[in-house]
Chains A and B, each alone.
Chain A
Amino acid sequence: MVLIGGAAGVLSGALPASRTTVDCDVLHVTPPEVFDLCRYHADEVARRFQIAPQWLDASAHALAHLMLPGWRDRLVAVGTFGPLQVLAVGRLDLIALKAIAGRAEDLEDLHSLAVTNTEADQLLQLFPSIQAHGISPHAYASALEILCSMRPRDES
């Protein structure tokens, strides 16, 4: 199971836990039927930990086309729970997805992540490859703008 979003950031140690929400966005599950099983047990987890029952959410799989080339090689292990291996997207991909999402909370997360010049340059090189995968020109331009603004030398 591959996680993205805030949960991926927190569980991989890239983001601080405080001030994020407990929902868990799932990008990818192999085999897909495993998600049904996890979803079945999610209600029990919600009761035990007193969190909202909708906490486990696979709607993020629709973002798969926005992943940068090589994202699978950058996955970070979160843990193995019985037969279930949980992975989180790597820091570079987390930054990219936050830049694409572009909401104010994503900008705050990017600020927490303290994106380096090297990372920003790397992402700016990789970004053109997702243009062919269906990202809207508007979202693409916005993400580039955010990435450029995150480069420490460009900070105002």
Chain B
Amino acid sequence: MNPEQLDDVVESWRELGIGFVGAPLPARGAPVDLERLIIRTAAGAADMARLFGMTAAWFHVYGDVVAKHRLRRLIRDELAPEFHPVLGLLLDTAQQGQHPQEFRTVIAEMRPAKVARPLFAVERRSVALSARVQRMASPVSRRWRLWRVDAPLKLKALHASQWLMERHPDFVVRADMRGDLRVSVLASLRFDEGAGQSELALARAAGGSRAQVRNALDNLEMTGRIRRLSAGARAGAGDRPVKPSAGPRNHNGTRIELLRFG
């Protein structure tokens, strides 16, 4: 990852409450696609140890808000395999000491590095530092075959939850739903182009089965967060809201619209 891309990742994490040094943040929070940010973080973490350590602390505290189904889908589709062990180690580090472990289902899909080596570029550059980290590597980093010396999570550079939730009302919803499939559906509708075109497209984007997504949509429609529109029969005829009284429905031609996420 080049330095500009890494700076962008750092800036997004500032917006989510990690206290990296930077220019004053705008008064209102800008929307952040959290799951895609995690993917970008995995690709850059080996080049910046503080990013790894601070995001591990963030995931430890705020792991509940991550949409796990969508994250799994993005790992499959958008994260190069070479970074899977980096993300595996990052999430595994964050969930150490947690019961139940927050990211167990996400981690299950990733595999350790093929060749064992230091996690961080700064240690890979030096034979002496490589040997040192190999000797001192934590058990969890050995499991991922990416050597890293364990360090306490630096919680003091994180904003409190109140700050995060005030800036990002969608994170209140994420936390209330504890990152379940409904959050993946909402996040996909907001951030994944074309996700609302059909139930099938949404299931693909959100990382759930069609039956699971339909179930999630029923709940989200009930609480007024989305609405389903049946596609017009003729081109240009527009969409009509699906009548709720219709009983068991065929949703094959249904378009889904996000009404509110926060």
Interface residues of A (CB under 8 A from B): 10, 17-23, 49-55, 57, 102-105, 107-108, 111, 142, 145-146, 148-149, 154-156
Contact = CB atoms under 8 A, between A and B. Distances in A.
A145 to B, nearest CB: 6
Contact of B50 (A19, A52, A55, A142): A19
Nearest to B17: A52
Contacts of B24: 49-50
B157 A156 contact: no
Nearest to B152: A103
Contacts of B53: 103-105
A104 B123 contact: yes
B4 to A, nearest CB: 11
A58 to B, nearest CB: 12
Contacts of A103: 49, 53, 149, 151
Interface residues of B, number: 41
A107 B49 contact: yes
Contacts of B22: 18
A79 B22 CA distance: 20
Contacts of B119: 104
B233 interface: no
Central interface residue in A18, A103, A104, A146, by most chain B CB within 10 Å: A104
Given A23-B157, A108-B48, A148 B20 contact: no
B21 A52 contact: no
A82 to B, nearest CB: 23
B7 A18 contact: yes
Given A22-B21, A52-B159, A108 B132 contact: no
Interface of B: 6-7, 10, 17-22, 24-25, 48-54, 119-120, 122-123, 125-129, 132-133, 136, 148-149, 151, 154-160, 163
Contact of A107 (B10, B129, B160): B129
Central interface residue in B50, B120, B151, B158, by most chain A CB within 10 Å: B50
A120 B148 CA distance: 25
Nearest to B159: A52
Contacts of B17: 52
Contacts of B154: 21, 23
B125 A108 contact: no
A156 B127 contact: yes
Nearest to A55: B19
Given A53-B160, A104-B120, A142-B136, 15 more contacts: A19-B48, A20-B21, A49-B24, A52-B159, A55-B19, A55-B156, A55-B157, A57-B156, A103-B151, A104-B133, A105-B49, A107-B49, A108-B48, A108-B122, A156-B128
B21 A21 contact: yes
Nearest to B27: A50
A21 B50 contact: yes
B19 A21 contact: yes
B122 A104 contact: yes
A20 B20 contact: yes
B149 A155 contact: no
Contacts of A154: 128
A55 B20 CA distance: 11
Contacts of B25: 50
B110 to A, nearest CB: 21
